Structure 1
Amino acid sequence: SKPEGISTLFGNSLISPGWLLIILLHFTFSYPVVVRVVVGALLDYKMEYEQASRTLGAPPLTASRTVTFAIIKPSLIASFILAFARSISETGATMIVAGVFENGPVFIQNMKDDFSGGKVSQATYEGSIVFASFILIAVSCIIFAAIRVIGPKLKSPIRKIWPTAERKLSYSTATFSRNSITLLIFFTLVLIPSLFVAFSAFEAVFSDNLPNALMGVGVWGEYWQSLILSYFLGAVVTGLNIIIGLPVAIIVARRKFGTLPSAILDVLVNIPLIVPSVALGVSLAIFWKETFAFIPEMWLLIFAHLAITYPYFVRSMSAAVERINVDLEEASRTLGAKPLGVFRTIILPLTKYSILSGAIMVFTRSVSETGATLAVVTTLQTAPVVLVNWVKQKVPATPFEIGLGCGFLILFSFIILLALRLISRGKGRY
């Protein structure tokens, strides 16, 4: 958190470091989480319910508000929790744009820097980190518990309707305006700022950087190794999340341990999300590297990424399972189906797109993770770590090489996610 934030790259002509820039940054981080969870819910949602409402004369807006939103309410709550937790725990990017502003995670990182520079004692450093982390975790857990209790009781939809106004807002002109504004916000506040650092990759294509990169000359040999490691790690972590996350999601959604224990477990699942990444990285390093020093670094990396991504999958899947009418499962059991049969014939078909959405969130979160990787390993490097070293000039790299490296990471990630989406796309869905 330094006065010379990222806006100085533009001669201070844009937004000054501080509150507004942090709000825009955290909106950019949390936006894909909300969209991913809600998209999974809408793909699992059967359009027949909304079509029946429209057949009875309801305008599209009224049908969405009174039918669709009511059915996917658990996913809306889950998306809010994930977005809130993602914002609370964000550290690295916040420090770049914060300027003189200091929130909890930035305070922890500043204390770490002061301790490394000899400005504060070890006792002050450890005490401040423990206290700040405890406050963030305690307050967030209280908020999540309140959401867990109050959220399901919220009346949805609002019973009062305004047929004339909602019918006008459902006309093609109003729909076009709404979609245009939505896309404008997405491109100007989320997509373009996120890709801005990679724009120099287009210039690098017409220089010697592209041939050198494709041949693995210089810094590129290490880059390609790190890129392969990032995608391999993301795939392994995603598979493990699906295997061990689904049972916990069902336990939370169906309250298998009783109402109170399941509610406590539901809140505890969120803790890795709300711990600031710098504090979580220190905690993971102490636990894995000092307690289990004999474990190979590759396993340390897998365990660290699993701890960070696990809540994303469990949170989205528990909301998906909660949307399923329990009577369907009871009917299946009444007909003699075993628990595995109920899962295979009822839960899986009705949540397969939510599973895909959760897997995408886990994969992208793992591929982009930097702090935990730096905390638990010393020799292995993922692509984000290599790029950070290039930016900090720990490894000499030109701006064109940095932009091209970011461009490759974005391009290959886009291709993988697009392939998954095309393979698993549903027909006749929302």
Structure 2
Amino acid sequence: MRNGLATIVIIIFIVTLFVMIFLPSVYLISLVFLRWNQIYYEIFANPYLGSTYLWNILQNLSLSFRLAIVTVIIDTILGLPLAYIFARKNFRGKSILEDITMLPLVIPTSGFGFATLITWTSSTGISRLLGIPISTQTIIPFINIPLLVLIVHVSLTFPYIVKTVSAALQEINPSYEIVSQTLGASSLTSFRKVTLPLITPSLLSGGVLAFARSLGETGATLIVAGVSVTAPIAIVKWELENKLAPAAFLGSILIALSFLLIIPIEHYASQKRRITFRLIPMTKEKEIVKFERKVSRKLWWMREVASGMLIFFMVILPILTLLYTTCIYWSKEPYTGRFEKSILYELFGPSKMINLVSRATLTSIIVASIATFISAYISIPTVLFIVKTRYGRIIRALLKVPLVVPTSALGLSMILLWGNKGLNIIHPSIWLTILTHIVFSVPVIVEAGVSAYYQLNVELYEGTARTLGATFYDMIETISLPMIKKSFIAGSILAFTHSLGETGATFLVMGDDITISTLVVNLVESQAIGTALFSSSLLILIALLLLGIIRKITR
């Protein structure tokens, strides 16, 4: 009887996980195949527009790929030294710096995008101090990438490199490097010859996550892109214009790329093999070792300085600039002294923008609360399934996909699946927004729970309990869940923060129920700068508060 009940529970769990989490991620790809004739006609054989859509898709993908590749290169160059410092150095304030480094992963992207915009382009920003005119139209020569978009993408993705590489370095015994240096190798040579091959799988994993994150970034990019159109922005634009064929085709390409990137790399990284490669001819090796010995003595301080500048310019400065600008514009316009140009006037004056902000904030809190609550209950059996079955590694890898799928593509997939173009069950509204947010909230909580299970070696305590006669259910209730409870709570708060700031998918599925993150984009586009400053500051302060709670729980 009990075995039969357990089988039914497992079947219900698997069906729920498939329908609510996996299906939305792959539905768009299947839809393209099912409606291929219509999509082919619109994109490849349109009698009026010719190949205009195809040309636009190729342009958008080209920009997104160039942007993602350059972003990952910069992430690696800047993130590796920072990861090494976090893994190998102990100093006062280290934990605070680690938390600051992880801020871009939890800060609402639209708010952070606006913070970056005013930091680099406003009269109170860096461009005025440096005397260099920077705007949304500033393009980097040769690679033809908007400068501000690149800055935002590096800021939002470098923590992936830092987090994965730092974790890998902490697992490696530093005695390998000590032995290498004892035998006469410089610190730089030891890192290249000994440490780098050991962390290459983690570096690849972090690089793929950063690449996929950059490829799908929507919220901040909408604010700083100007006239440039990346692939995720094109999806949002075409869906709002009811041009579903090109939007679905482009979205399916991005989702397929996410699968092709994350699944092989996750499998490869899980093998934890040491990678050996030789890119340098032996004839040049001695010259390089000599050069590394000479440079190593001078590079140690540059590593610390570069790491500090990365954190300051990419994370701290935009937040400080946003909060400072909000303060000086609070009661009057600082240059003319006019109250009519202040934040207070916009919020409480004739336009009563405070009502719009309050309603959007309440909607965001309701969406994030319900989505996180449901996701937490789905995550508990998911974690147990991953750690207790032989298919757990596959499920864990698949759950990484919703985290890297471009959110605009996910939003389009949800509309076409559940809306009037598909099953016609839920139309764009707060409820479809909640359902969409569950898709990426479950993986966040699950990953926190699974990581805690392995780090705390819960299996050892479970084995002891079973030896003493505890049933499987007693063991789960009294051993497993209590041990990973704190990580579940921290993961739930992280999922809540992520939901609160999600922009790309929400734009497409929210209907008339506007959230605070999407409101920021609308405010910037409509030049309601005072209200945008207030809303962005509110979002970032909430994220900082929640991050502080996570830090208190996990310490």
Q: Using the TM superposition, give the Cα deviation of residue 371 of structure 1 relative to its aligned residue in structure 2, in angstroms.
A: 3.0
| Structure 2 counterpart of 1:27, from 154, 157, 167 | 154
Q: Using the TM superposition, give the Cα deviation of residue 390 of structure 1 relative to its aligned residue in structure 2, in angstroms.
A: 1.8
1:119-158 alignment to 2 at 5 Å? 125-155=243-273
Q: Using the TM superposition, give the Cα deviation of residue 219 of structure 1 relative to its aligned residue in structure 2, in angstroms.
A: 0.8
Q: Does 1:414 align with 2:536?
A: no
Counterpart of 1:161? none
Counterpart of 1:314? 446
CA distance in 1, matches of 2:221, 2:320: 17
Q: Does 1:392 align with 2:525?
A: yes
Greater CA drift, 18-27 or 223-232? 18-27
Kindly tell me: are residues 294 and 374 of structure 1, through their superposed partners in 2, closer, same or farther at Cα, counting changes over 3 Å? Answer: same
SS across alignment from 1:270: helix
CA distance in 2, matches of 1:82, 1:212: 43
Which letter maps to 1:314? Answer: V
CA distance in 2, matches of 1:81, 1:319: 19
Which letter maps to 1:16? Answer: I
Counterpart of 2:414? 284
1:284–1:304 Cα contact (<8 Å) kept: yes
Structure 2: runs of 5 or more not aligned:
1-59, 64-115, 277-291, 333-338
Q: Using the TM superposition, give the Cα deviation of residue 29 of structure 1 relative to its aligned residue in structure 2, in angstroms.
A: 1.6
Counterpart of 1:186? 311
CA distance in 1, matches of 2:394, 2:301: 44
Q: Using the TM superposition, give the Cα deviation of residue 202 of structure 1 relative to its aligned residue in structure 2, in angstroms.
A: 1.5
Q: Does 1:355 align with 2:488?
A: yes
Which letter maps to 1:19? Answer: I
CA distance in 2, matches of 1:339, 1:38: 36
CA distance in 2, matches of 1:139, 1:380: 31
Q: Does 1:88 align with 2:88?
A: no
1:78–1:315 Cα contact (<8 Å) kept: no
Q: Using the TM superposition, give the Cα deviation of residue 188 of structure 1 relative to its aligned residue in structure 2, in angstroms.
A: 0.5
Which letter maps to 1:188? Answer: F
Which letter maps to 2:440? Answer: I
1:74–1:322 Cα contact (<8 Å) kept: no
Q: Deviations over 1:118-144 (max 9, x none)?
A: xxxx8xx54433333333333332322
Q: Using the TM superposition, give the Cα deviation of residue 109 of structure 1 relative to its aligned residue in structure 2, in angstroms.
A: 4.6
CA-atom RMSD in angstroms: 4.8
1:24-63 alignment to 2 at 5 Å? 24-32=151-159
1:277–1:372 Cα contact (<8 Å) kept: yes
Identity %: 27
Q: Using the TM superposition, give the Cα deviation of residue 367 of structure 1 relative to its aligned residue in structure 2, in angstroms.
A: 0.9
CA distance in 2, matches of 1:377, 1:303: 11
Q: What TM-score does the superposition give when structure 2 sets the normalisation length? A: 0.56
Q: Does 1:234 align with 2:368?
A: yes
Q: Deviations over 1:165-206 (max 9, x none)?
A: 9xxx9x9x9988755543321111233235645542011234
SS across alignment from 2:514: coil
Kindly tell me: are residues 157 and 195 of structure 1, through their superposed partners in 2, closer, same or farther at Cα, counting changes over 3 Å? Answer: farther
Q: Deviations over 1:74-97 (max 9, x none)?
A: 998876665443223213433555
Counterpart of 1:365? 498
Q: What TM-score does the superposition give when structure 1 sets the normalisation length? A: 0.69
SS across alignment from 1:271: helix
2:458–2:483 Cα contact (<8 Å) kept: no
Which letter maps to 2:491? Answer: G
Q: Using the TM superposition, give the Cα deviation of residue 223 of structure 1 relative to its aligned residue in structure 2, in angstroms.
A: 0.9
Q: Paired residues, what number?
A: 389
Greater CA drift, 204-213 or 144-153? 204-213
Which letter maps to 1:184? Answer: M
Which letter maps to 1:271? Answer: V
1:37–1:79 Cα contact (<8 Å) kept: yes
Q: Using the TM superposition, give the Cα deviation of residue 392 of structure 1 relative to its aligned residue in structure 2, in angstroms.
A: 2.2
Q: Deviations over 1:251-275 (max 9, x none)?
A: 2344x154xxx45433432333343
Which letter maps to 1:251? Answer: F
| Structure 1 counterpart of 2:531, from 401, 404, 414 | 401
